[in-house]
Amino acid sequence: MNLNINVDDNEKLKTVTLSGEIDAYTAPKLKETLLPLTQEDQAVVKVDLEGVSYMDSTGLGVFISALKSTKEYDSQLTLVKMNDRVYRLFEITGLTEIIDIETDSTVRGGM
């Protein structure tokens, strides 16, 4: 399966809506799209993961790179609408402690 990426660029708020699978094959495309958004001074980047059915460690690496970029550029990264399976991946790796995840919009009972 592929990864579909849609970016809504509204001044300082960038919303990235993802659907499909984030793996070794699709992660480079995500990184190529996401990192430049986090490199805009004081940008707020929200990543909607509701449509993501699968993610592996390569995908986690992209979000870690994006988080590091936000620190450099004084921007902000928030992940929203994760299904339980994807949220669990962030949880077991400890990334829920360092990445801003809106859990109230986490999709329960996901894939």
How far apart are alpha carbons 21 and 3 in whole angstroms? 5
Domain boundaries, the chain: 3-105
Pairing, β 3-10 against β 100-102:
unpaired
Q: What is the assigned CATH class of domain 3-105? A: alpha beta
pLDDT at 89 over 70: yes
Question: What confidence score (pLDDT) does residue 12 get?
Answer: 86
Per-residue pLDDT, 11: 85
Q: pTM here?
A: 0.90
Backbone angles phi, psi at 45, to 5 degrees: -110, 120
Nearest to 56 by CA among 94, 29, 25, 15: 25
Per-residue confidence (pLDDT) for residue 104, from 0 to 100: 66
State the pLDDT confidence band at 105, using cuts at 50, 70 and 90: very low
Query: Looking at the predicted structure, is the pLDDT value of residue 107 above 50?
Result: no
| pLDDT 10s digits, 23-54 | 999 999 999 999 999 999 999 999 999 999 99
- The pLDDT mean for the chain works out to 91
Tokens standing for residue 67: 């988080």
On the question of pLDDT at 93 being above 80, the answer is: yes
pLDDT tier for residue 84 given thresholds of 50, 70 and 90: very high
